[in-house]
Structure 1
Amino acid sequence: MNNGDKNVSYLFNLYYTKQATPQQLRELFDLLKTYDDEQLTGLLREAWDDLSAREEIFDEEKSRSMLNNILNAAPRTGIVAIKPKRYWMWGIAASILITAGIGAYFLNRPKPADMQLAIVHPAHDALPGSNKAILTLGSGATVVLDDANKGVVARQGNALVVKSKEGQVDYKVGEDADNKTIEYNTITTPKGYQYNVVLPDGSKVWLNAASSIKFPTEFTGSQRNVEMTGEAYFEVAKNAAMPFIVKTNRQEVRVLGTHFNIMAYDDEPVTKTTLLEGSIMLTGKSSNILKPGNQAIMNAQGDVKIVAESDMDEAVAWKNGFFQFKDESIEGTMRQAARWYDVNINYKGKIPTHQFIGKVPRSVKLSELLSMFKYAGMNFTIDGREVTVMN
């Protein structure tokens, strides 16, 4: 390690342990601008792994306050230059400090005179998403679940559809032996909304924005079959005699009782299936058995790549209330933003090739999320539901 590397490591450690002075912060940011892609990537990866290991979750109000203060704390003279095609992770990496406790460092220090407000709210900002879904009954009738009163929403065959006091939908199968009618229901989340449901067998499903799940009002026979689009996290009730089958447009996942996440949006280039607990069999062009920690990545042609030790926190970050980016392109980050904030993304000029790493609460406004990316030299305009990305 040369003297320059030692100096950066020393300054970064001061920054990380909340001991750096404003002058040392400026020196660190200026030195980081001289690093090449590989050096900067390595440094930030070490920080990411360390921060992830010691993550602390704050409530929404404190997370939002920390987000503001972290953005306001970056010196104007640093971290704004960018090389084409480099891994620009420093600017967005500041956001991971929100949940790692370092945000308090900025909250408790006086702000230097040459620092300026990082967030400017447009007149027509987009608010973050919330809980809402549309239930389509077997008859074709629809129920907007956020408007429905608590209690019984509908009766479907031998099952009661009940909205709990927590706002989720629970299917309770009755004991009416004479009623053999099986209806198929679909729960759909529009853009800008998420929802969770308890299926007739007790399995729990969390739906991300712009997603759906179709299922029978009572599981009978030898299998529990459901169909989904978009993204969903499953906690499947164990029943060795009746496997649980999830079908998407590209694959079929067979489980007995387990926890897993499937990301299968039509506008994404790949389908990702991440196993957190138990065991599942994924079938496409070929069959693969996944173990906990495995992630199957299937492309449009049906080819599958298995990642043995995947980032499970990243896979389910949306369920836990976060955007989490790891070597993500600007197009990938904007697709997530479009679904959560219900906006359309347009690009003016050449699409930027930067990649980002970071973690941001999904409770922030759209303008706050976009402000993170300004450190990569990118600009945005928000006009109603239209967002334009400019390099």
Structure 2
Amino acid sequence: MLGDRFSSGNFILSNDFIVTEQQQIASLLYKYLQGSLTETETFVLETWRMQSEANQRFFEVLQNDEQVSQWIAENHPNRLQDFEERIYAKVLHKISYLRVTPIYKRAWFRVAVAASVFFLAGLIYWTNFPKKQADIIEVTNFKPTNDIEAPKFTKATITLADGKIIAVDDLTAISQSSVQLTKTADGNIVYSGNSEESVYNTLTNPKGSKVIDLKLSDGSHVWLNVGSSISYPVAFSGKERKVTITGEAYFEVVHNESIPFKVSKGGTVITVLGTHFNVNAYEDEAFIKVSLLEGSIKVMKDQQESPVMHAGQQAIVTSDIKIRNNIAMDEVMAWRNGIFKFNKTDIQSMMRQAERWYNIQVAYPKGIPPEIFTGEISRDVNLSEFVKILRYSDVRTNISGNVLTINP
């Protein structure tokens, strides 16, 4: 049953790190039995477990010391005694400090299972590298010299038509051309009223700020990600509703067939009647991504126009427009749902998100590591917890001030 050993999961996708991942997963299994896993460690173990049926079987069988012992005897009978001399004393030393948890009914059974986990983990390592000393490698507690918290409040500002800048936290109520600007109890910004004057405001949500919710005068909602801005009229008038953005925003547009809603970024214009869609247009990204969750839209780039897009599609805008189908919208909308979600994501793409969210700079003094990652983690964790994801590969990190240094 255990013949499959550890299946190579895709949390750390580089084949160079399969053995290291085995050792780390063994350590996480041990901590699982102790009941001492952190949030990140729980996520990593669960990600690994769900990668394959083999991993699931391994996870289940490792909780039965009799099956583990039987597998060792059947597969490595000649190495059992030598392995015990090398490693078992170290295992017993570790398990003597086990904290009793309510996972099983009898304490001796918990200890036996924990011993089996480390025993088998060491055997796997020793079997793969018989010329090297078999060491039990635990996931070390990362103790940064400095840490940066996830954003706890908004740092957004509104620039009024006269150039005055108001912090959203300080906003009470303002009247502009018969339009009322207010802030709700939960911090959302609301415009209400009508006006024929062309009066524009700009909402800016800087790096290191919470996502902010804006309700436009027509009732449409906009959620603005960090490092982003949106310029809009305090009241829509004329034959179109037009806003301009930088960065990333998610729109839920009120339907009005006679007055289309347009979002522009540089030479790119998205035209809708009423729909839900996300626009990622950060300057440091290679292209603009327009992802449609509901309804239909058209995307125009200079003189090129896309066909009508439907739910589940995504437009990739560079010098032209390409349409992708069957997009994983949970990944697109992860930022709105309060998580980082990665799917075969390279380290630079991950770190660009971290730079905006934690308002940091990332340095690669020894080059950019080639690893790619799949998984998710809450956006509420501190930076030190976020970078633990990287430490499950051979990537090493250091936080000093607002600079995160990454080394292969």
Same fold (TM over 0.5): yes
The aligned amino acid for 1:125 is D
Deviation at 1:284, TM superposition (A): 0.7
Structure 1: how far apart are the matches of 2:159 and 2:255?
27
Deviation at 1:318, TM superposition (A): 0.1
Residues 201 and 219, structure 1, Cα contact 8 Å, conserved in 2: yes
Larger gyration radius, structure 1 or structure 2? 2
Instruction: Give deviations 1:120-177, integer Å, cap 9, x for gaps.
Output: 242320111243310000000011012334xx1x111121101011110000115xxx
- Please name the residue that 1:148 is paired with: 171
- Please name the residue that 1:162 is paired with: 182
- Please name the residue that 2:85 is paired with: none
- Alpha carbon RMSD of aligned pairs, Å? 3.3
Residues 261 and 275, structure 1, Cα contact 8 Å, conserved in 2: yes
SS in 1 for 2:169: coil
Q: Does 1:132 align with 2:155?
A: yes
Which of 227, 237, 240 matches 1:223?
Answer: 240
Structure 2: how far apart are the matches of 1:267 and 1:198?
27
Deviation at 1:313, TM superposition (A): 0.7
Residues 348 and 389, structure 1, Cα contact 8 Å, conserved in 2: yes
Residues 195 and 208, structure 1, Cα contact 8 Å, conserved in 2: yes
Structure 2: how far apart are the matches of 1:250 and 1:366?
35
Which of 256, 270, 294 matches 1:277?
Answer: 294
Structure 1: how far apart are the matches of 2:262 and 2:13?
47
Change (3 A) 1:180 1:303: closer
Q: Does 1:182 align with 2:198?
A: yes
Change (3 A) 1:36 1:155: closer
**Which of 1 and 2 has higher RCO (CA within 8 Å, sep 6+)?**
1
- Please name the residue that 2:144 is paired with: 122
The aligned amino acid for 2:313 is N
Instruction: Give deviations 1:255-310, integer Å, cap 9, x for gaps.
Output: 000000000000001111100000000001521121100011122xx222211111
Residues 138 and 185, structure 1, Cα contact 8 Å, conserved in 2: yes
SS in 2 for 1:127: coil
Q: Percent identity?
A: 34
Structure 2: how far apart are the matches of 1:133 and 1:117?
38
- Please name the residue that 2:70 is paired with: none
Deviation at 1:66, TM superposition (A): 5.4
The aligned amino acid for 2:212 is Y
Structure 2: how far apart are the matches of 1:321 and 1:190?
17
Residues 119 and 368, structure 1, Cα contact 8 Å, conserved in 2: no
Deviation at 1:119, TM superposition (A): 4.0
Which of 199, 206, 224 matches 2:223?
Answer: 206
Residues 277 and 292, structure 2, Cα contact 8 Å, conserved in 1: yes
Structure 1: how far apart are the matches of 2:219 and 2:349?
34
Structure 2: how far apart are the matches of 1:204 and 1:324?
23
Residues 14 and 371, structure 2, Cα contact 8 Å, conserved in 1: no
Residues 222 and 242, structure 1, Cα contact 8 Å, conserved in 2: yes
- Please name the residue that 2:305 is paired with: 287
Residues 73 and 115, structure 1, Cα contact 8 Å, conserved in 2: no
The aligned amino acid for 1:182 is S
Structure 1: how far apart are the matches of 2:102 and 2:371?
32
Gaps of 5+ in 2: 19-35, 52-59, 64-100, 104-109, 119-135
Deviation at 1:115, TM superposition (A): 6.9
Structure 2: how far apart are the matches of 1:201 and 1:269?
33
Q: Does 1:256 align with 2:273?
A: yes
Instruction: Give deviations 1:49-68, integer Å, cap 9, x for gaps.
Output: xxxxxxxxxxxxxxx97524
Change (3 A) 1:136 1:309: same
Structure 2: how far apart are the matches of 1:390 and 1:189?
31
- Please name the residue that 1:389 is paired with: 406
Instruction: Give deviations 1:327-378, integer Å, cap 9, x for gaps.
Output: 2110000000000000001102121122111111100111111011112210
The aligned amino acid for 2:167 is V
Instruction: Give deviations 1:238-271, integer Å, cap 9, x for gaps.
Output: 1101000000124100000000000000000111
SS in 1 for 2:255: coil
The aligned amino acid for 2:396 is N
Residues 239 and 256, structure 1, Cα contact 8 Å, conserved in 2: yes
TM-score by length of structure 1 reads 0.72
- Please name the residue that 1:297 is paired with: 316
Q: How many residues align?
A: 311
Residues 378 and 390, structure 1, Cα contact 8 Å, conserved in 2: yes
Residues 280 and 290, structure 1, Cα contact 8 Å, conserved in 2: yes
Residues 34-45 of structure 1: matches in 2 within 5 Å? none
Gaps of 5+ in 1: 9-26, 42-63, 75-88, 94-101
TM-score by length of structure 2 reads 0.69
- Please name the residue that 1:195 is paired with: 212
